[in-house]
Chain A
């Protein structure tokens, strides 16, 4: 059963990735990205990370993708269309390199010994929230500051020159 779910999610993700990489139209690529996000969210659920799956949906599928669509609408369409597709030469050079990299990674993972398998807690949301607000309180605050900075930066970059 596990493997069936995995196979389904994995093939979905691979298809979406192909779409992101090779679809000409940026909007189509963006739609493939949304589909990938859904697939990854499913994987998170399958892995027992319910909170992460939810946040994935909320942050990526709602906030970030809306950002993208918003920006695409501000740029004149003919400009966007001028740079469709991908570079063939770079693909020819880059694909073998990354294939070899994948091979090495796969070799390392399949041959390597991981730490012992433990038992996950029952209530994932509660566990994550607890460690987030106790052990990792300070990094959380730092992350909030980073978000604030990013917001200010985005406003500064996006405003019109006077």
Chain B
């Protein structure tokens, strides 16, 4: 029963807010939304304590009876899903609280819709996490896609936001297509969609087909997690409100891909070839996104690329066989990335949603000390500095990478270096240096926004200490490699130092340096021109193709046919109109003609 409540409280909140939001008012809707998340979190804590002793499942109902197999929906609580549920609901609740402050200036403008969408999102996300079969995961998968579309396009009067939501939806759809085919393949292979049953049948399955199914499922994860080559929507999704960016596009929805691969990890383990693809895509994305982040100047886009990069690292860890590291990094990443986003949102809020470029802000340390502290904690955690949470989880991944091969380890180290550099570049530019804002002085955010940030800061600091416990739960006891740990911290510090030297000491003038390396800079900023490729070549090419088709096939051929058929219909209509004159005489005449025909048939038709 409590298991069901975890899942359905957000849905109830969504329904109530969606149906009665205009009566309740925006504040009441926000509070309802927060309460839904909060109670969901409390119940999930209870479920976690229970699931840690013994995994249990809750059956919802039989969905589709198919011959001798019945497709039933249900929830499955094991350590993985219940811990993830707790993290998701905790972060979501905090962000819900934060959004009350962030969206406060929009209250009175149908803002209850925002909370309805948030609740819907939370429900769909929990469905992904908790569902005991692939079909339920797919439902949640589509649900978060929908909620993401609605939330990215929440400021739908802005063209940018509307386009971004469309792009997110389209690219997600490609991934979903893969995912759906993966599900169909799995059903074909295993004859069931229940995850536990699938795991018990793994050994009987042909490896090649299993690899195909895994790759298709991973395609879905690529779309949802913004990995190469379906990545362009994630930076553009930052057009949505910042709480949305924090919740969907940093912590939960994009992490759904990683979670899904981890959930189905036994399948992937049985098809080792597919794991290599996962590792390659994850590693490439990690490096690619980190490089792109170093050259962008949008406050939120830098963090978005950072998210992509960290998700890439998680996929790398998954691909290299370390599910625990990936999931632990997912957990800690949820805390510190949410923290970073909320800090960024706090800055945007301070400037009344007017600035989006880091070079428009400066020396904010003086005006926004708590935000500064939060951002600092988040950045340090992201850079993997001891003893913050990022250090522990990232260290696991880097260690795994070095264990796999030196190349992967080098890649992970480079990504760590870049990560520390770009996040501190953003921090130094915005919080130090000279004041660049004009007009009204920025102000510290209200308490309702600061409290979630403080709580997340605490979580970002202490979450790492649960590493041992987390590993034990999943039965993967691992030694910390001291040399790698030291190396990681050193690399992180190096990155910070470079950023410090460049942006505070001013050894190199960053503008001049970027000017000098303009081709490189542009390449990085344009994400190696992939976005441009998709937009200009694929999207506009398709648009051009459609226009040509519209002009020729549609306008000339189909419309021509339809228009010319008009004359035939008109002539026929004129004829019928003369008959259908409403005159009794004519009707009787036609009656007698019909009668004559019948008579003729009866007499002469033998």
Contacts and interface: CB of A to CB of B under 8 A. Distances in A.
Tell me if chains A and B make direct contact, with any CB pair below 8 A.
yes
Contacts of A100: 596
A97 B593 contact: yes
B600 A93 contact: no
Contact of B592 (A101, A104, A107): A101
B603 interface: yes
Interface in A98-114: 98, 100-101, 104-105, 107-108
Nearest to B585: A90
B596 A90 contact: no
B589 interface: yes
Interface in A73-118: 87, 90, 93-94, 97-98, 100-101, 104-105, 107-108
A108 B595 CA distance: 15
B603 A104 contact: yes
B486 interface: no
Interface in B574-606: 585-586, 589, 592-593, 595-596, 599-600, 603
Nearest to A105: B599
Interface residues on B, range: 10 to 19
Interface in A119-158: none
Contacts of B603: 104, 107-108
A90 B599 CA distance: 21
Nearest to B600: A104
B589 A101 contact: no
Contacts of B595: 101
A97 B586 contact: no
Contacts of A97: 589, 592-593, 596
Contact of A98 (B585, B586, B592, B600): B592
B585 A101 contact: no
Contacts of B585: 87, 90
A114 to B, nearest CB: 15
Nearest to B588: A94
B586 A104 contact: no
Contacts of A93: 589
A98 B593 CA distance: 8
Interface residues of A, number: 12
A98 B590 CA distance: 11
Nearest to B604: A104
A105 B596 CA distance: 10
A105 B598 CA distance: 12
A100 B595 CA distance: 11
**Interface of chain B, helix or strand or loop or mixed?**
helix
Contact of A104 (B589, B593, B596): B596
Nearest to B593: A97
A108 B585 CA distance: 27
A97 to B, nearest CB: 6
A86 to B, nearest CB: 9
A61 B592 CA distance: 29
Nearest to A108: B603
A90 B589 contact: yes
B589 A94 contact: yes
Contact of B586 (A90, A107, A108): A90
Nearest to A98: B592
Contacts of A105: 599
A88 B196 CA distance: 88
A99 to B, nearest CB: 10
A107 B602 CA distance: 13
A104 B589 CA distance: 17
Contacts of B599: 101, 104-105
A101 B595 CA distance: 9
Contacts of A94: 589, 592
Contacts of A98: 592
Nearest to B586: A90
Given A107-B603, A108-B603, A101 B586 contact: no
A14 to B, nearest CB: 20
Contacts of A104: 596, 599-600, 603
B595 to A, nearest CB: 8
A100 B592 CA distance: 11
Nearest to A87: B585
A98 B599 CA distance: 12
A85 B380 CA distance: 107
Contacts of A87: 585
A101 B603 CA distance: 11
Nearest to B595: A101
A52 to B, nearest CB: 27
B590 to A, nearest CB: 10
A108 B603 CA distance: 7
Contacts of B600: 104
A90 B583 CA distance: 11
A37 B432 CA distance: 120
Nearest to A94: B589
B428 to A, nearest CB: 97
Interface string A2-27: 00000000000000000000000000
A101 B602 CA distance: 13
Contacts of A107: 603
A93 B139 CA distance: 68
B586 to A, nearest CB: 7
A108 B600 CA distance: 10
Nearest to B603: A108
A90 B591 CA distance: 13
A112 to B, nearest CB: 9
A105 B589 CA distance: 18
A103 to B, nearest CB: 10
Contacts of B586: 90
A90 B589 CA distance: 8
A101 to B, nearest CB: 5
Given A101-B599, A108-B603, 15 more contacts: A87-B585, A90-B585, A90-B586, A94-B589, A97-B592, A97-B593, A97-B596, A98-B592, A100-B596, A101-B592, A101-B595, A101-B596, A104-B603, A105-B599, A107-B603
The 3 A-B pairs with the shortest beta carbon distances in the complex, nearest first, are A101-B596, A94-B589, A90-B585
5 contacts: A90-B586, A97-B593, A101-B596, A104-B596, A105-B599
Interface of B: 585-586, 589, 592-593, 595-596, 599-600, 603
